[in-house]
Chain A
């Protein structure tokens, strides 16, 4: 009934471990999302620019280096600067529990630490995008 939700999946920073990001990209595609996969080592400004250009609903970041808080802040700022503050930001990776509130404060709508079942993540992203779409 609806047009597929567009998601950008990418890895900011220098961490090159992309198994999770690729798995997520593929799982989302199979679940009916339209996925734009940017790859590794993307600058926050590039992520924001592509998000705007491709008019995505959700930006998904995968970070395994431990730099998740700073990188999430940077991407959130870049999205704001690009006028895309309505884009939902979600973050996954090697994220200790204590950092989840920090990521949420930085602008993450949802956080998926290692061990999150893929179906839980898909369900969460469906709900998030449905909430956003509801007014129309």
Chain B
């Protein structure tokens, strides 16, 4: 018989039957530990997933306008894209980064920018997801301070910072400091959120970027769970907090690509595995701590440039797989993503794709509609077994920090990316428009997003104005305090960063103070 496998290499039978179902204890009703069938007994009946479109452009004024538009169109959460200088810890006036200011996201230099970003958007009424890692702690400090300016108590703030540095070293690249001090800062944010910002996710452990860099679905899940363990170990080892005090504020983030059933199985397997890790490894008492709360993106590297409108269809299928897998929030990519930052039209269409799914298809009527499917349950088991195997390998090699520093993880991912690229080139992996049903059609002229050059000038003016008008002595005092505390291991830096934010210190100033103490990451350039 032909050897048919899923994308991650799981061998598939021609059909599945009752003998393939797991032990009933592994698949209790939705809402019960280990949550294979979903976190909530009522699935999406109680609350549909959060429709969250990643966007952010140019200046805080432009982004604010886009956010208010998205909220008016029925978006239920914001997802902030930041420009690369902000993500890497450079101010907009840094000479090395001028062409990047405001380009892939919004430029934030000081609290003044954040105040404008959320002008007329009440921070106690929305949730905000930030794709921010290297400077996540600083952005959290800005958000807390911006809330205060609006009169919103930090306990009411909702949202997520990605704050997952390990995958940045491997696949996304917005690192600043080396792993050790970075882990310390992440643990500081987790403790701070648990104690003071209880409705805010302190971390969104992200497999998405492993995936987009080439990892398959099983690797994506395994690497991500290993990162989750690394962060939880860091907090627990301090001995100041139990797992039940902070685990409910740990969330996860993945890409959904094209292998429909494998993606569904991935989310189900991940939920079960994480629940068991949190209970068995850390002794969690509360079920809530064991929940695997997941956001996802449909699109990314699963989209192709030739016959680009096909991407609309791909994203729609991926979105449906995500929902059948039980995700809590979703971003659907725009069809023109392979060419350009999305236009307003393509971004709106991407949002509508989710709305049609939520409102018209009926998939939200029943919790975990595929639960008990011979195939889906068997594939969930297979996926979990594969994830465990990959995690064991990494544990035996000394854990994630070591794997990252040595470039081991980078090599695994490049290997897989190379394999996939070969499979697409040879036609072994069919992609319509690329290696099947090709046409000569030229890539469409995309409207895309044109960077507003005036925006950069305005951003620089505002930064100069803030620097002129702030209290120089407050800036010096708060930065000095931050530097002193960074040199001591047992002081939580978050309250100090909030003070820096309120003194209108810039992102670059805070980052540089910490660089002086901690140094910078040195990348292993392997391919």
| Whole-angstrom CA separation of A114 from B308 in the bound complex | 11
Does A115 sit at the interface, judged by CB under 8 A? yes
| Whole-angstrom CA separation of A22 from B173 in the bound complex | 14
Contacts of A41 in B (CB 8 A): 88, 173, 523
Tell me which of A27, A37, A39, A71 contacts B99 (CB under 8 A). Answer: A71
| Whole-angstrom CA separation of A19 from B213 in the bound complex | 5
- For A29, give the chain B residue with the smallest CB separation: B527
Given contacts A13-B100, A26-B414, 20 further A-B contacts (CB under 8 A): A14-B87, A14-B100, A16-B173, A16-B174, A17-B172, A19-B171, A23-B414, A23-B421, A39-B525, A40-B523, A65-B100, A66-B451, A67-B99, A67-B103, A70-B99, A74-B99, A96-B448, A97-B443, A97-B445, A115-B443
Does A118 sit at the interface, judged by CB under 8 A? yes
B507-527 CB contact bits vs A (8 Å, 1 = yes)? 000000000000000010111
What 4 A-B pairs come out closest when comparing CB atoms? Answer: A16-B173, A115-B305, A70-B99, A39-B525
Contacts of A26 in B (CB 8 A): 414, 418, 527
Tell me whether B425 and A118 are in contact (CB under 8 A).
yes
A14-B88, A16-B172 known; A117 and B418 CB under 8 Å? no
Among B87, B341, B527, residue most surrounded by chain A Cβ atoms (within 10 Å): B527
Instruction: List 27 interface pairs A-B (beta carbons < 8 Å), by A numbering.
Output: A13-B84, A13-B100, A14-B85, A14-B90, A16-B171, A16-B173, A17-B173, A18-B173, A18-B213, A19-B212, A19-B214, A19-B301, A19-B417, A21-B527, A23-B421, A39-B525, A40-B523, A41-B523, A43-B96, A65-B100, A96-B339, A96-B446, A113-B305, A114-B305, A114-B338, A115-B338, A117-B425
- For A98, give the chain B residue with the smallest CB separation: B445
Does A104 sit at the interface, judged by CB under 8 A? no
Contacts of A114 in B (CB 8 A): 305, 338-339
User: B302 → chain A, closest Cβ, in Å?
Assistant: 13
User: Interface residue tally of chain A, by bracket?
Assistant: 35 or more
Tell me whether A14 and B443 are in contact (CB under 8 A).
no
Q: Once A and B bind, how many residue pairs between them come within 8 Å at the CB atom?
A: 104
- For A40, give the chain B residue with the smallest CB separation: B173
Does A103 sit at the interface, judged by CB under 8 A? no
| Whole-angstrom CA separation of A35 from B451 in the bound complex | 34
Does A15 sit at the interface, judged by CB under 8 A? yes
Contacts of B442 in A (CB 8 A): 97
Tell me whether A113 and B339 are in contact (CB under 8 A).
yes
B-side residues, CB < 8 A to A, are 84-85, 87-88, 90, 96-100, 103-104, 168, 171-174, 212-214, 301, 304-306, 338-341, 414, 417-418, 421, 425, 442-443, 445-446, 448, 451, 523, 525-527
- For A11, give the chain B residue with the smallest CB separation: B173
Contacts of B304 in A (CB 8 A): 115
- For B338, give the chain A residue with the smallest CB separation: A114
The residues in A between 87 and 127 inclusive whose CB is less than 8 angstroms from any CB of B are 94-98, 113-115, 117-119
| Whole-angstrom CA separation of A109 from B104 in the bound complex | 26
The residues in A between 41 and 96 inclusive whose CB is less than 8 angstroms from any CB of B are 41, 43, 65-67, 70-71, 74, 94-96
Contacts of B171 in A (CB 8 A): 16, 18-19
Tell me whether B84 and A14 are in contact (CB under 8 A).
yes
A-side residues, CB < 8 A to B, are 9, 13-19, 21-23, 25-27, 35, 37-41, 43, 65-67, 70-71, 74, 94-98, 113-115, 117-119
Contacts of B445 in A (CB 8 A): 96-98
Tell me which of A65, A71, A94, A119 contacts B338 (CB under 8 A). Answer: A94
| Whole-angstrom CA separation of A13 from B523 in the bound complex | 15
Tell me whether A96 and B87 are in contact (CB under 8 A).
no
A19-B214, A19-B417, A118-B421 known; A66 and B103 CB under 8 Å? yes
| Whole-angstrom CA separation of A37 from B523 in the bound complex | 12
Tell me which of A21, A35, A67, A97 contacts B100 (CB under 8 A). Answer: A67
Tell me whether A66 and B341 are in contact (CB under 8 A).
yes
| Whole-angstrom CA separation of A52 from B24 in the bound complex | 65
| Whole-angstrom CA separation of A26 from B413 in the bound complex | 13
| Whole-angstrom CA separation of A36 from B78 in the bound complex | 41
A22-B414, A96-B448, A114-B305 known; A16 and B103 CB under 8 Å? no
| Whole-angstrom CA separation of A13 from B103 in the bound complex | 12
Contacts of A17 in B (CB 8 A): 172-173, 212-213
| Whole-angstrom CA separation of A75 from B523 in the bound complex | 21
Tell me whether B174 and A115 are in contact (CB under 8 A).
no
Contacts of A97 in B (CB 8 A): 442-443, 445
| Whole-angstrom CA separation of A120 from B300 in the bound complex | 23
Contacts of B214 in A (CB 8 A): 19
| Whole-angstrom CA separation of A37 from B527 in the bound complex | 7
Contacts of A119 in B (CB 8 A): 425
| Whole-angstrom CA separation of A113 from B446 in the bound complex | 13
- For A25, give the chain B residue with the smallest CB separation: B527
Tell me which of B84, B96, B414, B421 contacts A15 (CB under 8 A). Answer: B84
| Whole-angstrom CA separation of A27 from B339 in the bound complex | 22
Contacts of A71 in B (CB 8 A): 99
Tell me whether B417 and A94 are in contact (CB under 8 A).
no
| Whole-angstrom CA separation of A39 from B451 in the bound complex | 26
Tell me whether B172 and A65 are in contact (CB under 8 A).
no
Tell me whether A113 and B443 are in contact (CB under 8 A).
yes
Contacts of A113 in B (CB 8 A): 305, 339, 443
| Whole-angstrom CA separation of A23 from B212 in the bound complex | 13
- For A44, give the chain B residue with the smallest CB separation: B96
Contacts of B212 in A (CB 8 A): 17, 19
Tell me whether A65 and B103 are in contact (CB under 8 A).
yes
| Whole-angstrom CA separation of A118 from B418 in the bound complex | 11
User: B62 → chain A, closest Cβ, in Å?
Assistant: 15
- For B411, give the chain A residue with the smallest CB separation: A22
Tell me whether B96 and A94 are in contact (CB under 8 A).
no
Contacts of B104 in A (CB 8 A): 15, 65-66
| Whole-angstrom CA separation of A19 from B446 in the bound complex | 23
Contacts of B525 in A (CB 8 A): 37-39
| Whole-angstrom CA separation of A84 from B168 in the bound complex | 33
- For B85, give the chain A residue with the smallest CB separation: A14
